[in-house]
Each structure stands twice: as C-alpha cells, then as structure tokens.
Amino acid sequence: MQMKRIAVMTSGGDAPGMNACVRAVVRYGIAAGAEVYGIRRGYVGMMANDIVQLDSRAVGGIVRSGGTVLLSARSQEFKTEEGQKKALEVLRGWGIEGLVVIGGDGSLRGAAALHKHGFPVVGVPASIDNDIPCTEMAIGVDTALNTILNAMDKIKDTASAHQRAFIIEVMGRQHGYLALMAGIAGGAEMVVLPGQAVDRSSIANEVRSAFLRGKPHFIIVAAEGASTPETGITQLLSECVAESGHDPRSTVLGHVQRGGSPTCFDRLLGTRFGAAAVDSLMDGTSGVMVALRAGEIVTVPISEVLSSQPILSKDALILAEPLAH
C-alpha cells in the first residue's frame, strides 16, 4: 500500500553524508507521492514532538555539508517501553505511516524496538566506525578515512623531519576498521587494533629496528578501542616507544574525524541508501536495513544485523604487516 506520510531522522553519532541521505529521502519520497516529515534530535525529538514537514527547498544545499541538519541526540528514556510508547503516540498523532532511521547500531536497536511495536521502519547504516554488520560500508566511513589520511600525511612530514616516532589515535569504538584501513592507506609502520596484546619489548624492538633499517619515522596508528580499562592506548604505546630510546609524540585525532564535507563516495552512498529506504517502505518491506553488498544496495532484516558481529577483512589484516616494512 502506498504510504502518504513518511518521516526521516538522524540519531546517535553524526556521520558525514547523513545530510545527503536526508535530502534523498525527502526528494525521492516526494517524487513517490508522499509527504515527508523530519524528526529533529533523534529519539529525543520524536518523544518531544519536534517534527517539521520538509519540502524539496528545505533540503537544498545540504548535500555538501557534514553533521546533520536534523540534529542528533542520545536518549536513555527511549530505551524504555514507556519512552517507545510515547514516541509511537507522537508518530501516530501526525499520521506518519513509515519511518527512515539513519544512524549507528544503537539507533538501529531503537528502530527494531519501534518495528516490534508494529511500526514500519527502515534503517540506514551511518557511522564513521564501520561497525554495523551486514553492510560493506556505512555512511561517513569514507570521509572519516580521508580526514585521517590528511592528518597522517601532515604528521609524517614533521615526524620525518625529526626522525620521530608518532602515535596517532583514531576513533572506532571497539572496531578497528578505521585504524586498519588508515594504517594501510597512510603507510603506517604499525597498527594496533582492539583486542590485540601490546608487548612492550617487542614494540620497542620494532621501533629501534625500523630506524636502523633507514626509516625516517615510525608511525603507529592505534584504535581507540585498543585502550584497556587501566590505560589509554596512546599512553601505553608512548611508554613502549620511550623504552626504545626514542622520544614519542602523539596525536589523538578525536572529533575532527566526524566532521567535514562528505566525500563523493559518502554523498552517493547516502543518496542511494536514502532512495532505497523509501522504495523499501513503499514496497511494504520494513524491519530491514539497507546495505551495500558487492556494489549493490540490498535490504537485510534488522534482526539479522543486530545478531551479527562486525568483522575486519582478512585480506586487509594480512596486507597491513608486510606493507609496513
């Protein structure tokens, strides 16, 4: 059955390319004959009735901007049954028949909760961490990687000038995708991933040996999720480098990785995901997430996404080591 009113929202950690997706949902949704509503501030705004109708002009000029024009938020209240019922009452009050949720795995859990209450929802994976299972890429990953590479290139200049060892800490929660891919593409001497044991003397030996082999610098890309409850990974690796006799420097890239104008890849991915999410709602296929697989946009049940684990490509893991020499 053709839906007449659909809504779109962004939630959780913002990711460059979310705006391209919002724009696509609005314009493609209108072209498909629906009115499109924007829910501001994620589930917080949904419960608070912070909803506006969006026309094509309302999303003009946003394809090139980072962040999210719909704003984002995190909400503990929405995790409760009462919070979800409050949100559903608001949606039904507006006559909204279907919803597109753009966000990370937490936001998808929220989408699954609404779907369980019988509300048609389609999820769109968006998180710089690329930790959402069942899709090769999420919105924002490519832009974040390019931001990291840009920073790495600059750090390498100064590291080489002083023959220094540097630790560059990148985001990614418990997943090492950003660290691994940036390490390979940026030419790091070492990548440290979540769950990987840090052996002080072997790292110190590797630093020494690299300089003896004529390397002008030693760059370690460390995933934030490699931190232990006791020590941050940057602190730990700085101690390892110091043990080698070198004077370490470190940069924690932090939230710069989340901002900025989306790359062409993220604009196109966001746009394709947005249109596919509308198609899915209009076809009566809900409770699914749109996903990228072998270049094609497909749908996967959200339940399958949430019961799977994100995995790092074996090929990439194998490549990282020899390339670092």
Of residues 84-113, those binding ligand ADP (CB under 6 A): 103-107, 109-110, 113
At its nearest, how many Å lie between ligand F6P and the CB of residue 6? Answer: 26
SS3 call for 176: coil
172 binds ligand F6P (CB under 6 A): yes
Question: Is residue 7 exposed (0-12), middle (13-18) or buried (19+ Cβ within 10 Å)?
Answer: buried
> Count H helices, E strands: the chain?
11, 11
Partner interacting with residue 106 (select from ligand ADP, ligand F6P, none; CB below 5-8 Å by kind): ligand ADP
Of residues 5-34, those binding ligand F6P (CB under 6 A): 13
Rounded to an integer, what distance in angstroms lies between the CA atom of residue 323 and that of residue 325?
A: 6
Segments in the chain forming alpha helices (H): 18-31, 42-47, 81-93, 105-116, 141-162, 177-186, 200-212, 233-243, 264-283, 302-306, 314-323
How does DSSP assign 289-314, residue by residue? EEEEETTEEEEEEHHHHHTS-----H
DSSP structural state of residue 196 = -
79 binds ligand ADP (CB under 6 A): yes
At its nearest, how many Å lie between ligand ADP and the CB of residue 275? Answer: 21
104 binds ligand F6P (CB under 6 A): yes
108 binds ligand F6P (CB under 6 A): no
Partner interacting with residue 258 (select from ligand F6P, ligand ADP, none; CB below 5-8 Å by kind): ligand F6P
Strand partners, 297: 292
Partner interacting with residue 287 (select from ligand F6P, ligand ADP, none; CB below 5-8 Å by kind): none
123 binds ligand ADP (CB under 6 A): no
- Indicate if 129 belongs to the active site: yes
Residue among 114 and 152 whose Cβ is closer to ligand ADP: 114
Partner interacting with residue 110 (select from ligand ADP, ligand F6P, none; CB below 5-8 Å by kind): ligand ADP
110 binds ligand F6P (CB under 6 A): no
Partner interacting with residue 173 (select from ligand F6P, ligand ADP, none; CB below 5-8 Å by kind): ligand F6P
129 binds ligand F6P (CB under 6 A): yes
Packed helices 141-162 and 264-283: angle between N→C axes, nearest 10 degrees:
160
At its nearest, how many Å lie between ligand ADP and the CB of residue 129? Answer: 8
Distant-in-sequence, close-in-space partners of 280: CB < 8 Å, separation ≥ 6: 122, 286, 288, 290, 299
Residue among 7 and 171 whose Cβ is closer to ligand F6P: 171
189 binds ligand F6P (CB under 6 A): no
75 binds ligand ADP (CB under 6 A): yes
Which residue among 6, 10, 13, 211 contacts ligand ADP (CB under 6 A)? 13
128 binds ligand F6P (CB under 6 A): yes
Partner interacting with residue 97 (select from ligand F6P, ligand ADP, none; CB below 5-8 Å by kind): none
Rounded to an integer, what distance in angstroms lies between the CA atom of residue 138 and that of residue 142?
A: 9
Handedness of CA 188, 292, 272, 170 (dihedral sign): negative
Strand partners, 35: 5
Packed helices 81-93 and 105-116: angle between N→C axes, nearest 10 degrees:
70
Could you say which of 14, 50, 129, 131 is catalytic? Answer: 129
Rounded to an integer, what distance in angstroms lies between the CA atom of residue 140 and that of residue 203?
A: 32
Name the site residues for ligand ADP (rule: CB under 6 A).
Answer: 11-13, 43, 74-75, 78-79, 103-107, 109-110, 113, 127
Positions marked catalytic: 129
